[in-house]
Amino acid sequence: MNLSDTTPIQDSLAASAVRLSSIHSRDLLQDTARNDALKHALAGCHFDFSRQRVDQQALAELIRFANSVDLPAKRDAMLAGASINRSENREVLHTALRQGAAGVSKSIKIEVAETKRRLYACVEAIRSCRWRGYTDKPIRDVVHIGIGGSHLGPELLVNALAHLPSAQKAPNIHFVANVDAQDISHALSGLSPETTLFIVVSKSFSTLETQVNANTARSWFLERTGNLDALGQHFLGVTTNLVAASEFGFSKENLFPLWDWVGGRFSLWSAVGLPIMLKIGCEAFDRLLDGARAADQHFAQSALDQNIPVLAALLATWNTSHLGCDSLAVLSYDQRLALLPDYLQQLEMESNGKSVDINGDPIDYRTMQVLWGGCGTNGQHAYHQLLHQGTSKFAADFILVGEGDTGHNEHHQWLLANGIAQGQAMTLGHVPANAGEQHKRVQGNHPSTTVVLNSLGAEQIGCLLAIYEHKVFCQGVLWNINSFDQWGVELGKQLALPIFAQLSGEDASTQDPATRHLIDHCLGLNRAK
């Protein structure tokens, strides 16, 4: 069954969408029982779905839909280690990294525990200054080289949790992702090879951008030291391809595994999270895992109508496929979470940006919204005008932090006030009392979710990110798509290879006219230098 099928459940959902189109959100909020049913708490996080355009009847129909596509059974299959990634014949077991998957084999549990032990030993050695560079100086700077899932989660959390007391004695963490030379040049500026450690993360050890940047880092180090034997003291690797990593120059003891059953965008809980561990320390990283494990247990055990990621997925699917919301704005009202929209873009759009179902058949209904966003209150003076008075249909996630961290109470109160007020305006709108002031009309009636983290601790953000991970899985089930492959990404990589060669002088006559023109134009610019 899918969203295009003609069934009593789909007919009921379609009828509810029509019925609710004539009911404004300000009227829905008058139903106290409805509001209470849409508020949930977990691990220091408060999830408020009451500003969504749904009533109890529609919510009950959405739960029926979830049961009709066997969501509970498919959830259990994922957590038990079934090969649900059908196009790649792989298990999906990122929950095993936080010991939240009950059905995981003993061998996987042992391997995860042993890798964690090695990681923590490495982290403690670096943070305590026992790890020394080739001139016996401690490590002061760490340059993390990765892209996509190997980069977005670590950078988000290193920034989000930099205020923790344990983060104050960490080395400086720098991130390099873009193949643009400006990125790595900026990261390396002012660094000394004697006190710099590189972490290279590539699942396949063939990701083009990461390879190019890693080679540049290696050359930078060797040009300044002339010491090939010192690489082992200054390079760590995270990969599944241990052979290729060894050929690069990594010593066996400096390599950490990343398994096929962990997708890149679900991998920050693994060795990919090494920069997070270095920043906040092992105890705080354990609390991050604790928060994610709380989300795993809630997801596995809670009834569907009380299950936070299930409700989030159902409402997101409702907004997209029935209410016609083409985009999701993620609005972080905390500067420390400025990178959250970037992280969620990959997590959600790379997972569920699909136009064929799990059988490879084309689908004729909307799937993933375009996810974008930014940091409040900056956005209020930019794109919020469109959100309030534009013609686009959208949904929004507001992310707030209840407790401020800076000691500037007035600042934080204004931040919270603005975040709450923006959600209110998008929900209630504004009808001018004066007929001559229709330019001030704000329609409102836009669905939104508000999440309040009691504080920005490791446990809270661990819970939040795991909830989003499970939401993504549930949406994939509801849309009947595979959330765990990304063949569209692979196509772009493949097409870049011959173009690179042609920019180096090979014959480009086989390219399409538009591509051939751009190659010739760029070649001409370089010849003119």
527 pLDDT band (50/70/90 cuts)?
confident
Residue 293 · residue 360 · CB < 8 Å = no
Cα separation, 290 vs 99, in Å, equals: 9
Indicate whether 55 and 126 sit together in one domain: no
Last residue of a domain, one of 280, 296, 329: 280
Predicted confidence (pLDDT) at residue 20 exceeds the cutoff of 90: yes
Token pair in block for residue 340: 């959250």
Closest CA to 313 of 155, 424, 474: 474
Q: How far apart are CA 168 and CA 288, in angstroms?
A: 17
**So what's the pLDDT on residue 247?**
85
Do 274 and 132 fall within a single domain? Answer: yes
On whether residue 288 sits in a domain, the answer given is no
Show which of 243, 259, 280 is a domain's final residue: 280
On whether residue 195 sits in a domain, the answer given is: yes
- How high is the mean pLDDT of the chain? 94
Catalytic residues: 350, 381, 493
| 3 state DSSP class of 268 | coil
Task: Label residue 404 by pLDDT band (50, 70, 90).
Answer: confident
Q: Is the model's pLDDT at 156 over the cut of 80?
A: yes
Domain-located, residue 158:
yes
Where residue 151 falls (left for φ over 0; alpha for ψ -120 to 50; beta otherwise) is: alpha
What is the Cα–Cα distance from 56 to 386, expressed in whole angstroms? 30
Tell the residue number behind the tokens 């299950």, with chain if given.
Answer: 307
- Report the domain count for the chain: 3
| Distance between CA atoms of residues 463 and 295, nearest Å | 5
478-507 pLDDT, tens digit each: 999 999 999 888 888 889 989 999 998 899
Q: Nearest CA to 343 among 208, 182, 157, 176?
A: 157
Q: Which residue has better confidence, 68 or 435? A: 68
- Per-residue pLDDT tens for 173-213? 999 999 999 999 999 999 999 999 999 999 888 889 999 99
The answer to whether 37 and 305 have CB atoms below 8 angstroms apart is yes
The predicted pLDDT at position 529 comes to: 60
CB 43 within 8 A of CB 294: yes
Q: Is the pLDDT of residue 102 over 80?
A: no
Question: Do residues 400 and 420 lie in contact, with contact meaning Cβ atoms separated by under 8 Å?
Answer: yes
Same domain as 260, residue 137: yes
Residue 331: in which H helix or E strand, if any?
strand 327-333
Please state, in angstroms and rounded to a whole number, the distance separating the CA atoms of residues 409 and 259.
45
pLDDT of 293 > 70? The answer is yes
Q: Is residue 87 part of a domain?
A: no
Contact (CB, 8 A) for 141 and 261: no
**For residue 526, is pLDDT > 90?**
no
- Nearest-5° angle of CA 254, CA 257, CA 263? 140
C-alpha distance from residue 424 to each of 328, 389, 396 (Å): 17, 14, 12
Residues 270 and 313 in one domain: no
Distance, in Å, from the CA atom of 72 to the CA atom of 76, rounded to the nearest integer, reads 6
pLDDT of residue 160: 98
- pLDDT tens figures, 112-131: 999 999 999 999 999 999 99
Regarding whether 142 and 186 lie in a shared domain, the answer is: yes
* Residues spanned by the domain of 509: 487-527
Residue 264 pLDDT greater than 90, yes or no: yes
How far is it, in rounded angstroms, from Cα 464 to Cα 453? Answer: 8
Average pLDDT on 321-347 reads: 97
Given a cut of 70, whether residue 5 has pLDDT beyond it is no
What value does the mean pLDDT take over residues 163-171? Answer: 96
Residue 275 has pLDDT above 80, yes or no: yes
Q: Which band of pLDDT confidence, cut at 50, 70 and 90, is reported for residue 251?
A: confident
Q: Are residues 135 and 176 in the same domain?
A: yes
Say if residue 263 is in the same domain as residue 219.
Answer: yes
pLDDT for the residue 408: 86
**Can you point out the beta strands (E) in 94-195?**
141-145, 172-176
DSSP structure class, residue 266: G
State how far the Cα of 329 lies from the Cα of 340, in Å rounded to an integer. Answer: 11
Q: Is pLDDT above 60 for 1?
A: no
Is the per-residue pLDDT at 528 higher than 70?
Answer: no
User: What is the mean pLDDT of the segment spanning 394-399?
Assistant: 98
Asked whether residue 246 falls in the same domain as residue 334, the answer is: no
Same domain, 112 and 239: yes
Residue of 88 and 461 predicted with greater confidence: 461
Rounded mean pLDDT, 454-471: 98
Looking at the structure, tell me whether residues 190 and 329 fall in a common domain.
no
CA dihedral 60, 61, 63, 66 (to 10 degrees): 180
The answer to whether residues 339 and 221 belong to one domain is: no
In a domain, 314, yes or no: yes
- Specify if 421 maps to a domain: yes
Q: What is the pLDDT of residue 205?
A: 87
Decide if 71 is inside a domain. no
Q: What is the pLDDT of residue 100?
A: 65
Give the tens place of pLDDT for each residue, 382-393: 999 999 999 999
**Beta strand residue intervals within 43-148, DSSP E:** 45-48, 141-145
50 within domain boundaries: yes
Specify the pLDDT at position 229: 92
Q: Do 126 and 217 have their domain in common?
A: yes
